A and B are shown apart, each in its own frame.
Chain A
């Protein structure tokens, strides 16, 4: 068995409820004097990395980010693979072509409400342009703000996800 399973021996006869209860109460009393495990969220955030245990996983798949090249243009070549593979059908892509024959996205929108954050778009992208990000604070005041356009996707700065690597399943 890969996962260690702790098998609890259920109390049989010979066990007094009262003494077991007192034992349990001693345990909860001891816990009253322990350091709390919680993080005070708005003041302490996981990416502050004050406590190593609270950092979000590098494989976390959050809201998307479009990477850009040196000139600040999106790396996307509008090949159409990401809307093709997207299981939630949340990517809208209208391709365009310039005079030299380079393809670029005229419209690139991701509806983050529809997205299931599977990360297939990042996996399939031949140019390593679209990425899912290590980010979780997505609150907005209106629903239409959740359709991220190309400009918004390109201007996000959070870290991008390191997707699961089949050759290194444990992430070592």
Chain B
């Protein structure tokens, strides 16, 4: 091995350990945050017994889950029953590897170790574990693998609740994946690249994509909630009807792994949303953060953490506000609203980008972003304030709303005695 390769491996291992540790710690404290946020929203106090202000609660929870008794159903398919938690745990952690968590940092070292030989590295290193050229395609691909873990958990438990939960999860995640993928096509249209570093670069030149691609961001947020099985899309574990859904039969650490997987998915989803639509690690209104440097990396890392935490809070806020969708509403929302909206949005963004580039000959990215912002503002207002009078995103009521609009509901006539 060359010293350069060894240096690269060393840097990668360090980054992996960093990302893994931060993800696991983040997940632990997300459970704490979830409980605190829900408590505040319900005028309660939340966990406050373990340690000062309850801050050691996640550690206590972890120890409890490790020491608890493992139960397994007698008629379960044991091999798959054991495999399923790992299958949802691994993709959830893998996804974090592709997201750049801070500005690239210049790393330079050259040293010798006994037995191992010489290590050297001299490059501006991306703060993603792997800054893949396939970017968000990798994230979409890997995050959709976690559906296997959930579906297999549901099937192998040999319990009706688990099976129904697994089926629902499979149907839901596959449905919303389509809309999710489609919602990211406009990002590709504007940047011409799927790599996260290029996307963040494009946002630094122009505006954060949450503004010019408002509709995309909306569709991505909603389908991301559905992908990570968070309320109001938590039908796979709907406790009021399915006990706990796909993880009904799991206990102790295997349950904990599903739990960690869910929160890790939320964490990486929030990180991905921040990277794609909120400028990633970009510090707004300054170009100071674009020069490579250790201080810049630290500051941008904090900026990224703040954006991700804010998004995680939003996800929790949505969970503790909105009631769960009915199953048919979920499917109708995914296929009849989100997917067409994403397709129309691709058309709209493509047309306005063409209009800006080829008709108005706008060359600066900022002007183009401004044009797109105007376009999406018009679309958003039209969509949610003019068109949407309960027809598009319909949370309550029947699905055949167009029919009920045309015809009045039939009156119930008293049955006459003669007819009887």
Contact partners of B42 in chain A: CB under 8 A: 31
Residue from A17, A24, A32 within 8 A of B390 (CB atoms): A17
| Residue numbers in B under 8 Å from A27 (CB-CB) | 321
| Chain A contact residue count (CB 8 A cutoff) | 26
| Interface stretch (choices A33-41, A110-118, A124-132, A140-148) | A33-41
Question: Are B40 and A32 in touch, CB under 8 angstroms?
Answer: yes
Query: In the assembly, what is the distance between CA of A10 and CA of B395, in Å?
Result: 12
Q: How far is the CA of A123 from the CA of B394 in the complex (A)?
A: 57
A66 to chain B, nearest CB (A): 37
- Do A28 and B384 have beta carbons less than 8 Å apart? no
Question: Contact between B41 and A31 (Cβ–Cβ < 8 Å)?
Answer: yes
Q: Are A13 and B405 in contact (CB under 8 A)?
A: yes
- B404 to chain A: closest residue by CB: A13
With both chains docked as a complex, state the minimum distance between the C-beta of A24 and any C-beta of chain B, in angstroms. Answer: 5
Task: Confirm or deny: B389 has a beta carbon within 8 angstroms of a beta carbon on chain A.
Answer: yes
In this complex, how many residues of chain B approach chain A with their Cβ under 8 Å: the count is: 27
B45 within 8 A of A: yes
Contact assessment for B394 and A17 in the assembled complex, using a CB-CB cutoff below 8 Å = yes
Chain B CB within 8 A of A18 CB: yes
By a CB distance below 8 angstroms, the chain A residues around B37 are 32
Separation of A18 and B219 alpha carbons in the complex (Å):
12
Residues of chain B within 8 A (CB-CB) of A55 are: none
Partner of A37 from B44, B390, B391, B401 at Cβ < 8 Å: B44
- CB of B396 within 8 A of CB of A10, answer yes
Partner of A25, one of B44, B318, B391, B405: B318
In A1-57, the 8 Å CB interface with B consists of 10-21, 24-25, 27-29, 31-38, 40
Q: A23 CB to closest chain B CB, in angstroms?
A: 10
Q: Does B43 contact A (CB under 8 A)?
A: yes
Given contacts A32-B40, A37-B43, contact A21 B321 (CB under 8 A): yes
Q: Does B116 contact A (CB under 8 A)?
A: no
Task: For residue A6, give the distance in angstroms from its CB to the closest CB of chain B.
Answer: 18
Chain B residue numbers with a CB within 8 Å of A17 are 388, 390, 393-396
B389 and A25 contact, CB distance less than 8 A: no
Are B384 and A18 interface neighbours, CB within 8 A? yes
Determine if B44 and A38 form an interchain contact, defined as CB atoms under 8 angstroms apart. Answer: yes
Q: Name 13 interchain pairs, CB-CB below 8 A, sorted by A.
A: A11-B397, A13-B391, A14-B390, A15-B396, A17-B394, A18-B388, A19-B385, A25-B321, A28-B41, A31-B42, A33-B40, A37-B44, A38-B44
Residues of B within 8 A of A (CB): 37, 39-45, 317-318, 320-322, 384-385, 388-397, 401, 405
Q: Which residues of A contact B (CB under 8 A)?
A: 10-21, 24-25, 27-29, 31-38, 40
User: Given A16-B392, A20-B395, list of 7 further CB < 8 A pairs?
Assistant: A11-B396, A13-B405, A17-B388, A17-B394, A18-B393, A24-B322, A25-B318
